């Protein structure tokens, strides 16, 4: 029985190790407009970085601050688009807009109030960041944020922008 | 036979592997994704802090999600195992222990329609009449199990209908939930308004719960209806977001079986421009607990969720005294200002300085007797209970929080975050006991990060709480050293103000992160208290032991 489970797991792994698509889920933008994940990940063949966060999550804020500080440079070099997904529930989701504005973040932020996108992307805890190649395939991901992790993220973005394999 | 089967599966696996490894990975076989998490603790008895050992020595909570998707179709399941459930998670009488697949679903979407069969989560508006969600770290999962249809009637007009049972550990609650929600985004409906600086969304929901009436004394309603209306108006930098909810009489264990209807109002307003955010919010709640089973309690079988509007503190010491919504009646208000002092100014420095001020307060509502012979408290079962005026504010303070937070980046290498928090916490009301009185606590926090070359960093946290009540004052120190993919932490929380015994709660740990995988190992002591995530809390017992946590997304 154990062998069967192991084999099944291997089969599943084999199916999943390669580039995955972003699932289609409805989110809200900060104007209260419903948008589909498929439409926001379009970046004209350039990489897209999706970062799940919450306003109460300190490492998330640190990571997004670091992204924001480097955003101009990263955009210029690789054309990357950053998208931040707030997983705040209705306790703090109404504060996400003012919070983001006060931080001066330049990237687009969307609300995932009941965690539908979070679950569809198999995100357990935040922060969790995914990198999409120009075709919209997930090619890299990173959990948690340790100071300096943004360097690793940028290395991955650069490779993807050049069409090189990561690792 | 089994061997042949497993060989066969391996071959399939290899086949798929090689197929995908080719240059062009486009295929119609769909994709499987998922995640896995396991949290284990080995318990050591420690009488000094009241920590117990368990007969199993080690308790483990685990689960794994699998999602298969192929174009318009997706399906998935979650396999969960609690062998046995970690201490502090809801598990009365071992009800949560065991293994199984409590969550499985299939979804099909095409054009304007999306149909879900099996388990799903849903939220109508702000959740005042319906919110089904999961928070694994709190042991909360009130997933619905049934049918849901989402239909886009017209651009900007979305309808949702559902009928479902609700998860109750490994079973279902007794009630049936029927719900309908309609949401209209005016600016989407009328193309001429698409670029308007005035934006308007309206929505309405209706939820009905059916549960057989079973009370020996009272004639309870079999069907309980709740409804809510909401509006969002946004004009340039201003934003108003409000929702009102009403529930017909619903005698329950929560409200001591009174026949009064329930109401709730939530108003959020904000102003935001680059570098500045202001939020003002208020809410009023009367008798709005709404559960699948009228006799349920604690975190079981909630159909709705009434959000707190107080700040969600993440630092350890201010999180000692968290607020939780009082569904039987409360008034609350919040004001928050977030400001970034611009770069290249005297106070802003080279990188700018972020300041946030936050104030919140919660009170009882004002209740009056329905007649001379019926007391307001405790509510008299089988009666209307009490009278109250809409939006009345009682004298009893439940909670107050004043806090200021300043975060500043000094250079490319040094970051800091300083906070001051003053809390007033009505221990009796918020912990459901009597005779303890209010806790008044002043908390100061200094959080510093020093970044070195090669993405290594040292993070230090110093927290101090001054209070004369409860267990007295505390001081906490934490050091975390990180290098790419690894982190090491040392932590001590010392209850030096406790006259009975000045206890230390220390822990050491390390972790490794690689892509979507995280492994953490720690040894230490944990204080008995309340743990909260996203506004929902659970009581955690004191513990001493070794913890392992592994999570992975694939």
**pLDDT at position B7:** 44
CATH code: domain of residue A81: 3.40.30.10
pTM score, whole prediction: 0.92
Mean pLDDT to the nearest integer, B188-196: 94
Q: Is pLDDT of B247 > 80?
A: yes
Residue A3 confidence (pLDDT): 55
- Choose among B25, B187, B338: nearest Cβ to A98: B338
Q: d(Cα B479, Cα B461) in Å, to the nearest integer? A: 6
Of B275, B277, B307, the CB nearest to A91: B307
Does the structure show a pLDDT above 60 at B379? yes
pLDDT at B72: 92
Shortest Cα distance, chain B CAs vs residue A154, angstroms: 13
Q: pLDDT tens for residues A58-77?
A: 999 999 999 999 999 999 99
Give the whole-number percent of chain B exceeding pLDDT 90: 85
Let me know if residue A42 belongs to a domain. Answer: yes
Looking at residues B421-441, what average pLDDT do you find? 94
Q: Which of A122, A139, A153 to mutate to test the interface with B (most CBs of B within 10 A)?
A: A122
- Contact of A26 with A57, CB cutoff 8 Å: no
Could you give the percent of chain A with pLDDT greater than 90? 83
**B220-240 average pLDDT score:** 97
Nearest CA in chain B to A89: B534
**Which string of b and e fits A83-116 if b means at least 16 CB within 10 Å?**
bbbbbbbbbbbbbbbbbbbbbbbebebbbbbbbb
**Predicted local confidence at residue B18, as pLDDT:** 42
Helix (H) or strand (E) holding B144: strand B144-154
Measured CA to CA, the distance from residue A132 to residue A23 in angstroms comes to: 12
Report whether the peptide linkage leading into residue A127 is cis, meaning its omega lies within 30 degrees of zero.
Answer: yes
- Let me know: does B263 contact B286? Beta carbons within 8 Å: yes
Extents of the domains making up chain B: 111-269+283-306
Q: Which chain B residue's Cα is nearest to A123?
A: B553
Q: What's the half-sphere exposure (Cβ side, CA atoms, 13 Å) at B195?
A: 1
- State mean pLDDT over B172-191: 97
Looking at residue A8, what is its pLDDT?
54
**Tens of pLDDT along A27-59?**
999 999 999 999 999 999 999 999 999 999 999
Query: Dmax over Cα atoms in chain B, in whole Å?
Result: 83
Number of structural domains (chain A) is 1
Q: What is the DSSP string of B173-186?
A: -S-EEEEEEEEEEH
Rounded to an integer, the average pLDDT of A93-118 is 95
What pLDDT is recorded for position B15? Answer: 43
pLDDT in tens, B276-315: 999 999 999 999 999 999 999 989 999 999 999 999 998 9
pLDDT in tens, B535-546: 566 778 899 999
Q: What is the mean pLDDT of residues B102-116?
A: 96
The helix, strand and coil proportions of chain B, stated in percent and rounded to the nearest 5, come to: 10, 55, 40
Q: What is the pLDDT of residue B342?
A: 93
Full 3-state SS string of chain A: CHHHHHHHHHHHHHHHCCCEECCCCEEEECCCCEEEHHHHCCCCCCCEEEEEECCCCHHHHHHHHHHHHHHHHHHHHHCCEEEEEECCCCCCHHHHHHHHHHHCCCCEEEECCCCHHHHHCCCCCCCEEEEECCCCEEEEEEECCCCCHHHHHHHHHHHHHCCCCCC
> How big is chain A by its Cα radius of gyration, in Å?
16
Angle at B168 between CA A122 and CA B145, to 5 degrees: 60
Condensed to tens digits (0 to 9), the pLDDT of residues B348-376 reads: 999 999 999 999 999 999 999 999 999 99
Q: Is 70 exceeded by the pLDDT of residue B183?
A: yes
Residues 210-239 of B with CB under 8 A from A: 232, 234, 239
* Residue A166 belongs to some domain of the structure: no
Q: Is residue A2 part of a domain?
A: no
Compute the distance between CA of residue A158 and CA of residue A78 in angstroms, rounded to an integer.
Answer: 6
Q: Is the pLDDT of residue B213 over 90?
A: no
On the question of pLDDT at A167 being above 80, the answer is no
Q: Which residues of B touch A144 (CB under 8 A)?
A: 513, 518
B202 with B231: CB under 8 angstroms?
yes
Is A127 domain-assigned? yes
Distance from CA of A79 to the nearest CA of B (A): 23
Contact A19 B25 (CB under 8 A): yes
pLDDT tier, B9 (very low <50, low <70, confident <90, very high otherwise): very low
Given a contact cutoff of 8 angstroms between Cβ atoms, the answer to whether B368 and B387 are in contact is: yes
Please give, rounded to a whole number of angstroms, the shortest distance from the CA of A5 to a CA of chain B: 8
* Nearest-by-CA chain B residue for A21: B31
Whether residue B494 has pLDDT greater than 60: yes
Identify whether A56 is part of a domain: yes
Rg, chain B, Cα only: 26
- The pLDDT score that the predictor gives to residue B499 is 86
Range of the domain at A59: 19-161
Q: What is the DSSP letter of B212?
A: -
Report pLDDT for A2: 55
C-alpha of B40 from chain center:
22
Q: What is the pLDDT, as a whole number, of residue B26?
A: 47
Nearest CA in chain A to B270: A98
Q: Where are the alpha helices (DSSP H) in B317-457?
A: 427-431
Residue scoring higher pLDDT (B519 or A15): B519
In a domain, A65, yes or no: yes
Using a CB-CB cut-off of 8 Å, the residues of chain B touching A143 are 513, 515-518, 551, 553
Q: What per-residue confidence (pLDDT) applies to B197?
A: 94
What are the pLDDT digits (tens) for B41-84? 999 999 999 999 999 999 999 999 999 999 999 999 999 999 99
Contact call for B551 and A119, based on CB within 8 A: no
CA separation for the pair B224, B248 (Å, rounded): 6
Q: Is residue A23 part of a domain?
A: yes
Mean pLDDT, residues B383-399 taken together: 96
If you measure CA to CA, which chain B residue comes closest to A20?
A: B31
- Domain annotation covers residue A167: no
Task: Evaluate whether A123 touches B35 at the Cβ level (below 8 Å).
Answer: yes
Interface of B with A in 156-215 (CB under 8 A): 158, 185, 187-188, 199, 201
Cβ(B41)–Cβ(B550) under 8 Å? Answer: no
Strand, coil or helix: what is B318?
Answer: helix
Q: What is the ipTM of this complex?
A: 0.92
d(CA B513, CA B7): 33
Mean pLDDT in residue range B132-138? 90
Cβ atoms within 10 Å, residue B414: 12
Residue B21 has what pLDDT?
39
| Residues A161, A78 contacting (CB under 8 angstroms) | yes
Residue B400 banded pLDDT, cuts 50, 70, 90:
very high
- Give how far Cα A149 sits from Cα of A68, B513, B514, Å: 14, 11, 11
Q: What is the pLDDT of residue B16?
A: 44
Q: What is the mean pLDDT of chain A?
A: 89
Report the pLDDT averaged over residues B482-501. Answer: 93
Cα gap B235→B253, rounded to integer Å = 43
State residue B16 phi and psi, 5-degree precision.
-65, -40
């Amino acid at each position: 029985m154990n062998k069967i489970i192991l084999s099944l797991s291997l089969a599943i792994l084999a199916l999943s190790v390669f580039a995955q698509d972003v699932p289609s889920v409805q989110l809200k933008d900060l104007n209260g407009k419903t948008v589909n994940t498929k439409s926001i990940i379009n970046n004209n063949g350039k990489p897209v970085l999706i970062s799940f966060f919450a306003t109460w999550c300190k490492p998330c804020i640190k990571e997004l601050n670091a992204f924001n500080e480097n955003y101009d440079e990263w955009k210029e070099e690789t054309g990357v688009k950053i998208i931040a997904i707030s997983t705040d529930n209705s306790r703090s989701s109404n504060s996400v807009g003012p919070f983001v504005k006060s931080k001066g973040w330049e990237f687009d932020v969307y609300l995932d109030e009941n965690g539908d996108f979070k679950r569809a992307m198999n995100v357990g805890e935040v922060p969790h960041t995914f990198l999409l190649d120009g075709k919209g395939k997930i090619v890299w991901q990173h959990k948690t944020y340790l100071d300096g992790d943004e360097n690793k993220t940028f290395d991955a973005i650069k490779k993807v922008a050049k069409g090189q394999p990561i690792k | 036979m089994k061997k042949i089967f497993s060989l066969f599966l391996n071959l399939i696996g290899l086949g798929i592997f090689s197929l995908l490894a080719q240059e062009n990975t486009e295929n119609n076989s769909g994709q499987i994704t998922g995640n896995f998490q396991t949290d284990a603790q080995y318990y050591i008895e420690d009488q000094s802090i009241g920590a117990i050992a368990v007969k199993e020595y080690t308790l483990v909570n685990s689960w794994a999600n699998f999602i298969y998707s192929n174009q318009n179709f997706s399906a998935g399941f979650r396999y969960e195992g609690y062998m046995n459930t970690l201490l502090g998670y809801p598990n009365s009488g071992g009800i949560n222990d065991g293994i199984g697949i409590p969550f499985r679903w299939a979804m099909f979407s095409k054009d304007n329609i999306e149909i879900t069969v099996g388990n799903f989560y849903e939220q109508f508006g702000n959740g005042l009449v319906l919110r089904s969600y999961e928070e694994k770290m709190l042991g909360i999962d009130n997933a619905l199990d049934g049918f849901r249809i989402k239909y886009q009637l017209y651009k900007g007009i979305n309808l949702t209908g559902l009928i479902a049972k609700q998860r109750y550990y490994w079973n279902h609650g007794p009630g049936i939930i029927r719900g309908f929600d309609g949401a209209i985004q005016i600016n989407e409906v009328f193309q001429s308004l698409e670029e308007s600086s005035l934006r308007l969304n309206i929505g309405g929901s209706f939820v009905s719960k059916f549960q057989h009436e079973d009370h020996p004394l009272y004639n309870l309603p079999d069907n309980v209806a709740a409804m809510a209306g909401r509006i969002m108006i946004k004009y340039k930098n201003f934003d108003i977001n409000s929702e009102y909810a009403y529930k017909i009489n619903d005698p329950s264990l929560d409200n001591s079986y009174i026949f009064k209807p329930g109401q709730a109002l939530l108003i959020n307003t904000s102003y935001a421009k680059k570098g500045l955010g202001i939020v003002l919010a208020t809410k009023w709640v009367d008798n709005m607990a709404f559960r699948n089973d009228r006799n349920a309690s604690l975190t079981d079988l909630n159909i709705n969720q009434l959000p707190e509007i107080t700040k969600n503190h993440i630092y350890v010491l201010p999180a000692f005294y968290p607020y939780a919504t009082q569904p039987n009646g409360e008034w609350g208000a919040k004001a928050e200002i977030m400001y970034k002092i611009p770069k290249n100014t005297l106070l802003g420095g080279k990188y700018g300085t972020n300041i946030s001020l936050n104030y919140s307060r919660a009170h009882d509502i004002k209740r009056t007797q329905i007649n001379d012979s019926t007391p307001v408290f405790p509510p008299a079962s089988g009666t209307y209970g009490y009278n109250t005026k809409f939006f009345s504010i009682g004298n009893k303070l439940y909670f107050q929080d004043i806090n200021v937070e300043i975060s500043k980046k000094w250079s490319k290498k040094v970051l800091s975050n300083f906070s001051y928090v003053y809390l007033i916490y009505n221990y009796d009301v918020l912990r459901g006991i009597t005779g303890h009185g209010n806790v008044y606590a002043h908390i100061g926090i200094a959080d510093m990060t020093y970044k070195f070359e090669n993405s290594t960093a040292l993070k230090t946290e110093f927290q101090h709480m001054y209070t004369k009540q409860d267990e007295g004052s505390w001081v906490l120190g934490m050091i975390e050293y990180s290098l790419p993919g690894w982190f090491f932490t040392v932590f001590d929380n010392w209850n030096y103000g406790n006259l009975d015994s000045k206890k230390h709660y220390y822990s050491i740990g390390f972790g490794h992160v690689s892509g979507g995988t995280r492994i953490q190992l720690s040894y230490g002591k944990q204080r008995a208290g309340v743990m909260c995530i996203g506004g929902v809390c659970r009581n955690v017992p004191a513990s001493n032991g070794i913890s392992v946590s592994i999570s992975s997304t694939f």
